[in-house]
Structure 1
Amino acid sequence: MTPESSPVTAFDPDSVKSQPEGSLEALIGRIEAEVNELQFPRFTKDDSLNLGLLLVERGKERKLPIAIDITKGDQVLFHVALDGATPDNEHWIRAKQRTAARYEVPSLLVGLRGRLHGGRIEDKGWFDESTYAPHGGSFPLYVAGVGAVATVTVSGLPQQQDHDLVVEALREILRSMQRAR
């Protein structure tokens, strides 16, 4: 194995310890690839219901203490709290959802990009932590040729796991749409 092909140890956005060189950039690259991959041909209210129910199914199967939200503008299209979710999850859902909607990229990507030159975006004086949370779990729903039309958000797990659960469900819904064509 050459140095260029050696695997990079994963970056942990929740860790305060020093992390392997290149791991932050690798995770940013992975999430940017997910954004490019997860472009929907359309996204209707029925699609949001299917996505929300899929996330509920995955959460219940795995006994995850999560809250799930799908929002388009000011309209909540789907919202549920599973067993173990707390009122704090509601705050995190709104803050992560606002972040993904404002920047039109996954909330985790906002936080990771803020770390590229050291520090955190939360440390910038202009970043309002009472309104926004650059933590994983909210992903814009992109329609090809249109852009971000809504957001899907999960809260209740460590931020990377929230993000990965959303991506898993988005991939499954997108595959089902492609098969139905």
Structure 2
Amino acid sequence: MDIETLKSQEETLVWPQFTASDALDLGQTLLVMARKDALPVVINIRTPTQTLFHVALPGATPLNDLWARRKSATVLTYHLSSLHVGERMRASGRTLADDGLDPAHHADHGGSFPIRLQNGLVVAAVTVSGLPQRDDHALVVKALAWRLTDAATI
């Protein structure tokens, strides 16, 4: 996926507000989508200081929890999707370590997306881990688009 598409997703998928109730609704949307296809994923929604939603579906492993934590830390640091950060890093030949970040705590692989308010503030990260990184990212984007438009069916 190219950087312009990722940038467009981040500019489009914004919230007027984001509450703990919104996190629960988004998490449940992801849960329904993942269960529908029996996906072995971890779903996590967190702010910089609090976990708002977390579930590990059958087939997910503790390693998926670690990946979710690392990907969401990247989102909360850069205020970009983890796939966007990774694509930028690869395009520039840089790594997270070049920015002083420990790869034990951050990951630039797809699957985590910023919860950005209309005023530009990033308040949380929504993350899926357990699939190939582009599939993790696509699932999150699909759920965000559905929650923000209420127009699609799961």
| TM-score normalized with structure 2 length | 0.93
The gaps in structure 2 that reach 5 residues or longer are none
Larger Rg, first or second structure (1 or 2): 1
1:57 Cα deviation from its structure 2 partner? 0.3
Change over 3 Å in CA distance of 1:77–1:123 after alignment to 2: closer
Q: Which residue of 2 aligns with 1:131?
A: 105
- Residue 12 of structure 2 corresponds to residue 70 of structure 1: no
Q: Distance in 1 between matches of 2:116 and 2:28?
A: 19
1:95 Cα deviation from its structure 2 partner? 0.3
| Cα-to-partner distance string for 1:67-94 (whole Å, 9 max, x where unaligned) | 0000012110000000110010011011
* Alignment-mate amino acid for residue 36 of structure 1: E
* Alignment-mate amino acid for residue 132 of structure 1: H
Aligned pair count reads 151
The gaps in structure 1 that reach 5 residues or longer are 1-10, 12-26
1:104 Cα deviation from its structure 2 partner? 0.6
Q: In the alignment, is the contact (CA less than 8 A) between 1:137 and 1:166 conserved in 2?
A: yes
Q: Distance in 2 between matches of 1:123 and 1:144?
A: 31
Q: Which residue of 2 aligns with 1:36?
A: 11
Q: Distance in 1 between matches of 2:21 and 2:96?
A: 36
1:122 Cα deviation from its structure 2 partner? 4.6
* Alignment-mate amino acid for residue 66 of structure 1: V
Q: In the alignment, is the contact (CA less than 8 A) between 2:71 and 2:109 conserved in 1?
A: yes
1:127 Cα deviation from its structure 2 partner? 3.6
